[in-house]
Structure 1
Amino acid sequence: MEQIVLGDAELIRVVEWQGPFMPARAIVPGATAEDWKRNADWLAPDHWGRAEDTYLGALQTWVIRHGGRTVLVDTGVGDGRQRPHSRQFHDRHTGFLDRLAAAGIAPEDVDVVVNTHLHGDHIGWNTVDRNGEWVPSFPNAVYYLPAADHAVLDPDGPGRAHPPAAAGAADPAWWEERRLLFEDSVAPVVRAGQAVLWTDGVRIDEALTLEPAPGHTPGSSVLRLDSRGERAVFVGDLLHSPLQFALPECNSCFCEDPAGAAASRLRVLERAADRRELVIPAHFAGAGAAEVRREGTGFAVTRWAA
């Protein structure tokens, strides 16, 4: 666990898993081997395993405590999930709730859950298995889910008429995996009446605002924090690797609308640089957050979060 204080807000990072995930060239396919080598002095060893040419990432949840409320940003993969086509996410057992408890957070203490988008590694701890039934992990929480993603995942949703152009979307197994994650991690919180399906942005409280940032998924979003003039932006999967600071035009291999994702990334990073917002992606290993500045056609890290 790591802690950051911004204004009156306390941020706590709780890691579900961290380590080598996939070949570096695969995670950001638009980047070259030379791009990784040229930036090795700040990518290695936390974000790039140079010897193995491996991308290093994390599955994690950011906790925000502010104004007497506890907010979770993204909820990882979860335990016991059937993800037969994603070996890294299949039938995991990590004890994540115990790590939340070690941070002083019991499930009933959580007031808000934000899913920046509805990929399986951001929604898994939305629910727990109780006697063979998936139920909300956080019984007192309001869950903010992007409606555009829900519409695509829901077997009866209108988004199925316009499926994403993501890699693998033509494969029936791709849809089967999404059916599983919808049934075990999304539908239960909707049935429980705890979900808010939002579209054009929503102010959660005086410090937190959700805004659309489509591209990675149709409903991909960012969560902005502003407390006494100190700011952060939780960007979900707009960035998978810090290399995308230097090359904001390069998408991850998981972006469903590459042009939209690149446009959202550039827009969010420009504002972060101009307003000195701490950029907090979902999957950064090492230091999980950074301030950035404009540099050439991209951005550079001014400082990593302590």
Structure 2
Amino acid sequence: MNEIKLGDVTITRIEETHGPIMPAGAFFPDLPEQAWRDHRDELVPDHLDDDGMVHVAMQTWLLRSAGRTILIDTVVGNDKDRPAVAPWHRQNIDYLGRLAAAGVHPGDVDLVVNTHLHVDHVGWNTRLADGNWVPTFPNATYLMPAADFHYWNPANNPRIEGGVNENAFADSIAPVHAAGQAQLWEGSHRIDAHLRLEAAPGHAPGHAVIVLESGGDRALFAADLLHTPLQLHAHDHASCFCEDPAQARTTRRRWLDWAADNRALMLPAHLSGRSALEITREGSGYAVAQWGPFDSY
């Protein structure tokens, strides 16, 4: 099962890829190796393999809410020059075919939400057409956090050159803005009666989460608050991709508290396996109360 309904909102999981991405020690350099061993039974095989490689998913959350078709994050994309990450370099994946199988064609999309502007959240913002990058979703407004839009602009941040985010602004962000389809926001932003965006900085300056409240149901589209269930136990440990690890820790704790207190379904951007979970407090940390209803990858 890849589709559920919470209140009046339908949620469909659209996969781009899933599998091993990098060694645990490189992904989480400050997280003790013993922690991976202590929780191995919870992590293997969906989130960690026997070679110590962390498994993640590249996926989009497709929402149908208040009469609109909404995409949360647009993963890596095709044909993009990504020299820092070989598996992402000039990908050729039938992502649009998977959207079509869910009943959505590019012209049907009303709203694209980029929770932040890291390379693996903006790729399908654009597609290559006659040698030019054009918005993939021609009728959509693209919500982008203003803080990230300015931070990841190479004119403001020269260190992007040679990093993981190299080329992403030029090929996946600037063309949308030039087309007049980007809407920059900050602080919080009400999407509709069921959905709102909230700033959740740390992983990136403009990193955000989406809160769903519809009927009696609650959900948190948690973006990159966590990349592995181990961060429920080791919630003070950030990934190597967090721009401000200290702020990321504070933000993670705030939203994990909210999810636990509201019995909300958490839907992180990259969690492999069943992709979604409900959490509970456990000692000074958290634990999985139950996994979400999606099939495991």
The answer, yes or no, to whether TM exceeds 0.5 is yes
What secondary structure is seen at the aligned counterpart in 2 of 1:48? coil
Question: RMSD in angstroms over aligned alpha carbons?
Answer: 1.4
What secondary structure is seen at the aligned counterpart in 2 of 1:209? strand
Structure 2, gaps ≥5 residues long? none
* CA displacement 1:252-298 (0-9 Å, x = unmatched): 11001000101100000001000111111111111101000111111
What secondary structure is seen at the aligned counterpart in 1 of 2:59? strand
Number of residues paired by the alignment?
A: 293
Give yes or no for contact 2:80–2:89 (8 Å, CA) kept in 1.
Answer: yes
What secondary structure is seen at the aligned counterpart in 2 of 1:238? coil
What secondary structure is seen at the aligned counterpart in 2 of 1:75? coil
Give yes or no for contact 1:153–1:179 (8 Å, CA) kept in 2.
Answer: no
Indicate which of 157, 162, 165 corresponds to 1:173.
Answer: 162
In 2: Cα distance, 1:202 partner to 1:178 partner: 25
Structure 1 178/24 Cα, relative in aligned 2: closer, same or farther at 3 Å?
A: closer
Structure 1 179/32 Cα, relative in aligned 2: closer, same or farther at 3 Å?
A: closer
Task: Determine the structure 1 residue equivalent to 2:44.
Answer: 44
What is the Cα deviation at residue 196 of structure 1?
Answer: 0.7
Indicate which of 234, 246, 254 corresponds to 2:241.
Answer: 254
Alignment of 1:82-121 (within 5 A): 82-121=81-120
Task: Determine the structure 2 residue equivalent to 1:135.
Answer: 134
Give yes or no for contact 1:117–1:146 (8 Å, CA) kept in 2.
Answer: yes
In 2: Cα distance, 1:253 partner to 1:27 partner: 5
Give yes or no for contact 2:66–2:193 (8 Å, CA) kept in 1.
Answer: no
In 1: Cα distance, 2:83 partner to 2:190 partner: 37
What is the Cα deviation at residue 122 of structure 1?
Answer: 0.3
Give yes or no for contact 2:115–2:207 (8 Å, CA) kept in 1.
Answer: yes
What secondary structure is seen at the aligned counterpart in 2 of 1:231? strand
In 2: Cα distance, 1:155 partner to 1:47 partner: 33
Give yes or no for contact 1:70–1:110 (8 Å, CA) kept in 2.
Answer: yes
What secondary structure is seen at the aligned counterpart in 1 of 2:86? coil
In 1: Cα distance, 2:257 partner to 2:152 partner: 31
- TM-score, normalising length from structure 2? 0.95
In 2: Cα distance, 1:2 partner to 1:179 partner: 32
What is the Cα deviation at residue 179 of structure 1?
Answer: 5.1
What is the Cα deviation at residue 88 of structure 1?
Answer: 2.5
Task: Determine the structure 2 residue equivalent to 1:28.
Answer: 28
Residue 215 (structure 1) aligned with residue 202 (structure 2): yes
* CA displacement 1:69-111 (0-9 Å, x = unmatched): 1110100000000011221321111111111001111111111
* CA displacement 1:191-245 (0-9 Å, x = unmatched): 1111111111100111110010000010011011111120111111111111101
* CA displacement 1:115-160 (0-9 Å, x = unmatched): 1100000000001111111111111111110110110122445xx4
**Any runs of at least 4 consecutive aligned residues in structure 1 with deviations exceeding 3 A, and if so which?**
none
In 2: Cα distance, 1:18 partner to 1:155 partner: 29
The amino acid across from 1:180 in the alignment is: N
Structure 1 134/172 Cα, relative in aligned 2: closer, same or farther at 3 Å?
A: closer
Task: Determine the structure 2 residue equivalent to 1:152.
Answer: 151
In 2: Cα distance, 1:222 partner to 1:26 partner: 25
In 2: Cα distance, 1:200 partner to 1:228 partner: 25
Task: Determine the structure 2 residue equivalent to 1:289.
Answer: 276
In 2: Cα distance, 1:179 partner to 1:250 partner: 25
Give yes or no for contact 1:4–1:305 (8 Å, CA) kept in 2.
Answer: no
Residue 124 (structure 1) aligned with residue 120 (structure 2): no
In 2: Cα distance, 1:255 partner to 1:276 partner: 26
Task: Determine the structure 2 residue equivalent to 1:192.
Answer: 179
State the percentage of identical aligned residues: 49
In 1: Cα distance, 2:238 partner to 2:17 partner: 23
Structure 1 155/305 Cα, relative in aligned 2: closer, same or farther at 3 Å?
A: same
What secondary structure is seen at the aligned counterpart in 1 of 2:167? helix
The amino acid across from 1:251 in the alignment is: A
Task: Determine the structure 2 residue equivalent to 1:76.
Answer: 75
What secondary structure is seen at the aligned counterpart in 2 of 1:173? coil
What secondary structure is seen at the aligned counterpart in 1 of 2:87? coil
The amino acid across from 1:58 in the alignment is: A
Structure 1, gaps ≥5 residues long? 164-168
Give yes or no for contact 1:59–1:77 (8 Å, CA) kept in 2.
Answer: yes
In 2: Cα distance, 1:76 partner to 1:133 partner: 19
The amino acid across from 1:19 in the alignment is: G
